[in-house]
Amino acid sequence: MPKAHLHLHFTGSMRPATLLELADKYGVHLPEALTGGEPPKLRATDERGWFRFQRLYDLARSCLREPEDIQRLVREAAEEDVRDGSGWLEIQVDPTSYAPRLGGLISALEIILDAVRSASRETGLGMRVLVAANRMKHPLDARTLARLAVRYADRGVIGFGLSNDERRGMARDFDRAFAIAREGGLLAAPHGGELTGPASVRDCLDDLRAARIGHGVRAAEDPRLLRKLAERGVTCEVCPASNVALGVYEKPEDVPLRTLYEAGVPLALGADDPLLFGSRLAAQYEIARVHHGFTDEELAELARQSVRGSAAPEGVRAKLLAGVDDWLAGGPAA
C-alpha cells in the first residue's frame, strides 16, 4: 500500500547487518543489544533506560565515519522504505552529531543531502531531510542549526525538529529557533507527548507552533487537547513499536491508536529507529491491523493521512493518494 514515512531517525534507520560490517571496519565493540536478534527492552521512561538507549544510539552513530558510510545508510534506508510501500520519506537528522568526522557542520549536512539525492534517483523514492535540534544542548545551538536548515530549504531540507529526552529542556526555550525555521519556510515538527504527558504536546503547539508532532500519543490522555489537534489538523507521527520498546506502553494494544484516530487527529505511522526497535514501516500498519482491529479502509485512511501530513509536492501526493485508492479497490494484500 502506498504511504509516506514521516518519522525515521538517521542512524536508527541502519540495517543491523550494515552496523555489524561498519563496526568491524572501524574496530568498534558493540554490546549484545546491538548484535542479537531480539530488539532490546530499553524502558526509557526512567532515566537509566533513556541513558542506555542513548548510549546504544551513540555507539551505532560512531560507526558512520566516511561519506560512503552515509551514502550506504541512506540508500539502504530508501530501499527498505520502497519495499514497505513508501513513496515519500522524510528522514530526520541532527548534522552536528556527524560533523566532527565529516569536516564540520556544513560539510556534514551537504554530504547527507547529496546522499539523499543519490538514493532518491537510484530507488525512485521521494526523499527529503528534516533537520532536528537536540533538547539536551543549548537553545543557541538550535538557533544555529535552524539558520543552517533554512539555508538549505531549496536543496532538500523541508522541516525543523526537536528530539531527545523531552523531560529535559522546555519547549519555550527553543521558540526562537523554531521561529527562524518557520520564517524560512520550514515545517515545524518537534517531538512531544512520548516520555511525558499531554502538557509536552500542548507546549509544542503553543510555544513552537508545531505543524506536526513527533509521537504525540500522550495527547490521548486529554480530550480537550485531542480536539485541539483535530481542529488544527496537526499530524501526530505515531510509532507503535517504538512506544512499546521504550516502555511508554506495555503492549502494542495499549498504544492509543484508536483513541487518536477516532478523535479525528491526523496520524502518520512511523518506524522511529528500526535498528533498535526491530521493525520498519509496514510493521507499524500490521500493528494497527492485528492489535487494534483496523480494517482495510481504515488502514488506507492512515496511509492517506501520512501523505497529507507530508511536505511532498502536490504531484507526488496525488500519485500516492491515487495509489492508495487503487490498493483498496484491488483487494489489499499488504
For residue range 270-285, what is the model confidence (pLDDT) as tens digits?
A: 999 999 999 999 999 9
Q: Where are the domains of the chain?
A: 3-329
Residues 240-278 as b or e (16 or more Cβ within 10 Å = b): bbbbbbbbbbeebbebbbbbbbebebbbbbbbbbbbbbb
Which residues have C-beta within 8 Å of that of residue 173, sequence separation ≥ 6?
Answer: 139
Q: Flag whether pLDDT at 38 surpasses 60.
A: yes
Q: What is the C-alpha separation between 243 and 7, in angstroms, rounded?
A: 13
Catalytic residues, by residue number, are 194
Does pLDDT of 325 surpass 90? Answer: yes
CA distances 75 to 11, 85, 114, 118, 267, Å, are 13, 16, 11, 8, 26
Residues near 178 by Cβ (< 8 Å), separated by ≥ 6?
146, 160, 162, 188, 190, 208, 209
pLDDT at 70 over 70: yes
Average pLDDT, the chain: 94
| Single-letter code of the amino acid located at 92 | Q
Give the fold, CATH level 3, of 3-329. Answer: TIM Barrel (3.20.20)
Residue 305 binned pLDDT confidence (cut-offs 50, 70, 90): very high
Q: How far apart (Å, rounded) are the C-alpha atoms in residues 9 and 90?
A: 9
Checking if the pLDDT of 205 tops 70, the result is yes
Residue 105 DSSP one-character state: H
Q: pLDDT band for position 167 (50/70/90)?
A: confident
User: Has residue 115 got a pLDDT over 70?
Assistant: yes
Q: What is the pLDDT of residue 47?
A: 65
85: left (phi over 0), alpha (psi -120 to 50) or beta: left
CB 81 within 8 A of CB 274: no
Q: How many angstroms separate the CA atoms of 326 and 187, rounded? A: 29
pTM of the model: 0.95
Amino acid at 43: R
Q: Residue 331's pLDDT is what?
A: 66
Q: 252: helix, coil or strand?
A: helix
Q: What phi and psi, each to the nearest 5 degrees, are found at residue 132?
A: -120, 130
Residue 334, pLDDT > 50, answer no
> Which cell goes with 165?
529526552
Q: Between residues 327 and 165, which one has the greater pLDDT?
A: 327
pLDDT above 60 for 204: yes
Among 271, 288, 289, CA closest to 280? 271
